[in-house]
Amino acid sequence: MRTILIIISTLIIGYASNSFVLAAQLPNNSAFLKDDPLNRSIKEYYPNGKIMREYTLKDGKIDGSYKFYNRLGKLVSDQYYKDGVPDGYLRNYYENGQVKAEMNMKGANISGPSKEYDEDGTLRKESMVSGEAPEISSQTTIYYKDGKIQSKITISQGKFVYSITYDKQGRVTYEDKPSQSTSYWYEEATGKKHVSINGVEQK
């Protein structure tokens, strides 16, 4: 369970990194402007004529907003660069235009707050991230569809610290620490709580 929680809390990091790599590996199909090749705005297109990406070069490096679109011309991501390096917001989008995830990047690392949403705009996960991989620290909260807290996860310098999970009534169902896992279940008729520590039911 602990391994799964660590993977969940760090998925957003991999998601952000993968979107950057995808854009960087796209074929060069630029519509070049007739001006300074190191300082210009660039738009690139798919074979079907739809825009693929657009960005600005400053002294030969990407500077400012870098937008990437799918083959239907729908915006997939918008990321801010400074001197050719991610240094600011990164937003990923659903096809309906709703923000899917938003975070702040510092180089290859997420820095500060990040959020993930459902396609209808409902907030499903938010984190506060600091440090650099692999010693990243994070506080992550995952929500049910109705906005109630589903779980909280804490990681410090790349190591799992603590997690807690709730049911939809707000009752604790699971707590996990490096040395102890505790699960809870509740009798439907009376609400009486039962406890199991490291797989052993407590009397």
- Per-residue pLDDT 10s for the chain (203 aa) are 554 444 444 444 444 444 443 333 334 444 444 568 899 999 999 999 999 999 999 999 999 999 999 999 999 999 999 999 999 999 999 999 999 999 999 998 999 999 999 999 999 999 999 998 889 999 999 999 999 999 999 999 999 999 999 999 999 999 999 999 999 999 999 999 999 999 999 98
pLDDT at 156: 97
Question: Residue ranges per domain, the chain?
Answer: 2-170
Give residue 36's pLDDT. Answer: 83
Q: How far is CA 111 from CA 162, 171, 184, in A?
A: 21, 32, 35
pLDDT given at position 32: 45
Which tokens belong to 55? 């960005």
Backbone torsion region of residue 151, taken as left when φ is above 0, otherwise alpha when ψ lies between -120 and 50, otherwise beta: beta
At 2 the pLDDT is: 52
As given in the structure block, the two tokens for residue 132 are 């650099």
CATH class for the region spanning 2-170: alpha beta
DSSP of 110-124:
EEEEEEEE-TTS-EE
- pTM here? 0.78
